[in-house]
Structure 1
Amino acid sequence: MNVTAQGPARTGNTTAGTAPISTAGPALSRSISAWFDENARDLPWRRDGFSAWGTLVSEFMLQQTPVNRVIPRLTEWLERWPTPADLAAVPSGEAVRAWASLGYPRRALWLHAAAVQITERHGGVVPEDIDDLLALTGIGDYTARAVAAFAYGHRHPVVDTNTRRVIARAVAGQGEPAPPSRTRDLEAMSALLPADPVAAAVFNAAIMELGAVVCVSRTPRCADCPIRDACAWRAAGYPDYAGPKKAVQKKFEGSDRQVRGLIMAELRATHHPVTAAEVEGLWPDAVQRDRALAGLVADGLAVLVEPGMYALSQG
């Protein structure tokens, strides 16, 4: 893979303060891409010949899920459903069952719906146009741009959390990125993006990787950073971030999300309906348990097949 950009990582948006980018941008991009060429992790979606469908599936799975948990599930998924039409041909409940412990199982429903739409609207071929991608269920701006750039080689800025953090530090001199802003973040990334589409795709991946493995949130490995001598945050003496704070994520232990996960695990574990009594044995708090079960039914993940009997949705 050739390179010409910043480091790698996945998830994002950037910050204000874009004045230095116009002069520092090309040098930063070249340094980060060169580093990526030598240090990129060997991930399935980066290999030659990896399909656009595989790229789309990987992007769904990587939302809020670590890479090491995604890889084995992605491999199993693509062996079972190598094309959108293969997934579209089975009930949505099978997709939810195969999603297993990846978390946020609504993603499996959305991916199944997208597979049906790709099959019906695009002849089973994942579209490459951003507007066509955005029209699919479950696909937002980041995923649409990622598929267009990484699967089809189009020149689009792709911004995730890691990208935003690298730009915030290296360009704006801030310890953390400001709250996401689609316009500001895309402008900041566009200012760094090489003009050549191939180099641009490499840089998109490279700056994500840099943010994921070197310019990490809590303990950045600044001594290993390929752009440490040009980093505005380092030059400023690593000031603490003084902007708006990110919302603190609620604890998983004891949360509705944990209860939903327990119920989903029970539904996935069997191919016959689960009784209300079996659900009751999963969690002692009846109010919280009933709320979690009702939420799964409302989300289309579970269905009441008959009074007191629940199963995975087979829509």
Structure 2
Amino acid sequence: MPHPELPLLHREITAWYASNARQLPWREESATPWALMVSEFMLQQTPVVRVLPVWEAWMKRWPTPAALAADPVGEAVKAWGRLGYPRRALRLHAAALVITTEHGGKVPGSEDRLLALPGVGTYTAAAIACFAFGIPTVVVDTNIRRVHARLVGGKALPEPNQNAAELALAQRLLPESSPADATATKLANAWNIAVMELGALVCTARAPRCHGCPVMQQCAWIAVGRPEPHYKPKGQPWHGTDRQVRGAMMAVLRHSEAPVDRADLLGVPDLAVDTGRRLNPAREAGERHRAWTDLHALPAASEQRERAFASLLADGLAKQGADGVSLPR
């Protein structure tokens, strides 16, 4: 059943957003669908504070899908910097190619066509359709799921993995709209972004600021005494993982102007001494760069380094050529 105070929730949360929303460049009226799409790719599992400078540099260099598509994919991976999960850069470049060749250089405006693009899943397609094209569709990210779980479900956290019940709840909570009612459509779109922002700024996973919430009095979680989560969230480890080794190798490749010798990339700092050979020129030129220092300082066994390197090749994030290892071209 719909929440008994649904109109009040719609009114209070969207009004709160109007007064408290962060001023982000991809939310400006002048922002293009491409600008919004780039932000959605970058914001996946990455906080806004880290995304902002990379997004700004990206949009300055590649203001359109065609501009990105015209450059080698390795340039996209390099520009991705330290955002993490660099396969997103590969997929964004691939999507830019499809948009350029099949959609006249314009980001498609329907969920179905967006879903057909590389790297665009259900959430991303809905977010672009809603925020870039004003289509009143259900948008459900981690922040929205958490707000819904507390406000309506009375739980501290949503389920570990999104399920059909959560999608159904989001559909019930979405303000009704119709093509003939522009005001209702605008409210539906505002609701999605407002709930998302409430989850990001107030209804946070840890230490929620309930007294700053516009609907604290209507919150089911507050009403039942703010019970503890029904499971212990598992964080994603970093130190000592293959991801850390991959990241260190990617940092070296991003900062190297020439291909890197495989042995150097695998972190064999004394190989030149053992063999009497000259260091790879790329390593010599960047020996003092922190990326090399960080890579060689990792306490990772050779098996883990080999495994991480092989995964970079398999993912298309690195290429092994006759002259060494480099970013994809």
Match of 1:155, SS state, is coil
- Counterpart in the other structure of 1:266: 252
Report which of the two structures shows the higher radius of gyration computed on alpha carbons: 2
- Greater RCO, 1 or 2 (C-alpha within 8 Å, sep 6+): 1
- How many residues are aligned here? 292
Preserved contact between residue 3 and residue 152 of structure 2 (Cα < 8 Å): no
- Match for 1:224: what amino acid? G
- Counterpart in the other structure of 1:5: none
Match of 1:274, SS state, is coil
- Counterpart in the other structure of 1:8: none
- Counterpart in the other structure of 1:13: none
Q: Distance in 2 between matches of 1:271 and 1:235?
A: 59
- Counterpart in the other structure of 1:162: 143
5+ long unaligned stretches in structure 2: 177-183, 268-294
- Counterpart in the other structure of 2:171: 190
Question: Which of 189, 210, 218 pairs up with 1:201?
Answer: 189
Question: Which of 278, 301, 321 pairs up with 1:285?
Answer: 301
The superposition leaves residues 34-92 of structure 1 with CA deviations (integer Å, 9 ceiling, x where unpaired) of: 10011111111111110000000000000011101101110100110000000001110
- Counterpart in the other structure of 1:6: none
Moved more, 279-288 or 163-172: 279-288
- Match for 1:108: what amino acid? A
Quote the RMSD (CA, aligned, Å): 1.3
When residues 81 and 42 of structure 1 are mapped into structure 2, their CA distance, relative to the original with a 3 A threshold, is: same
Q: How does 1:83-232 map to 2 (within 5 A)?
A: 83-195=64-176, 196-232=184-220
The superposition leaves residues 124-162 of structure 1 with CA deviations (integer Å, 9 ceiling, x where unpaired) of: 000011111011100100000000000000000101111
Q: Distance in 2 between matches of 1:116 and 1:226?
A: 43
CA offset at residue 276 of structure 1? 1.8
5+ long unaligned stretches in structure 1: 1-18
Q: Distance in 2 between matches of 1:280 and 1:147?
A: 40
CA offset at residue 250 of structure 1? 4.1
Match of 1:186, SS state, is helix
The superposition leaves residues 183-230 of structure 1 with CA deviations (integer Å, 9 ceiling, x where unpaired) of: 322221121212222111111110001011101111010111100011
Preserved contact between residue 174 and residue 241 of structure 1 (Cα < 8 Å): yes
User: Within the alignment, does 1:251 sit opposite 2:237 as a pair?
Assistant: yes
Q: Distance in 2 between matches of 1:119 and 1:132?
A: 14
Q: TM-score, normalised by structure 1?
A: 0.90
User: Within the alignment, does 1:311 sit opposite 2:318 as a pair?
Assistant: no
Q: Distance in 2 between matches of 1:30 and 1:191?
A: 16
Q: TM-score, normalised by structure 2?
A: 0.86
Match of 1:291, SS state, is helix
The superposition leaves residues 269-292 of structure 1 with CA deviations (integer Å, 9 ceiling, x where unpaired) of: 022101123213334521111110
Preserved contact between residue 26 and residue 35 of structure 2 (Cα < 8 Å): yes
